[in-house]
């Protein structure tokens, strides 16, 4: 006999702003995001993954 712990229930996130990555990149694959004077680059890869770099 084996006992399995049920997976934890996902907590519902509060209503958060939601953006399409293609809107942020204006249809391309790169966008710049500024936070506290620092510039970050958001990239959409060919595999449709997101990478955020400083």
Q: What is the mean pLDDT of the chain?
A: 89
Helix spans in 1-54 (H): 21-24
pLDDT digits (tens, 9 = 90+) for 21-45: 999 999 999 999 999 999 999 999 9
Confidence of residue 14 (pLDDT cuts 50, 70, 90): confident
Q: CA 1 to CA 54: how far, in whole Å?
A: 51
Tell me, what's the pLDDT at 8?
A: 72
pLDDT at 5: 73
Binned at pLDDT 50, 70 and 90, residue 1 comes out as low
Which DSSP letter does residue 46 get?
A: T
């Amino acid at each position: 006999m084996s006992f399995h712990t049920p997976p934890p229930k996902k907590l519902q996130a509060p209503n958060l702003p939601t953006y399409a990555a293609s809107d942020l990149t204006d249809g391309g694959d790169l966008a710049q995001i500024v936070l506290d004077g620092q510039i970050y680059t958001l990239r959409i890869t060919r595999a449709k993954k997101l990478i955020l770099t400083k």
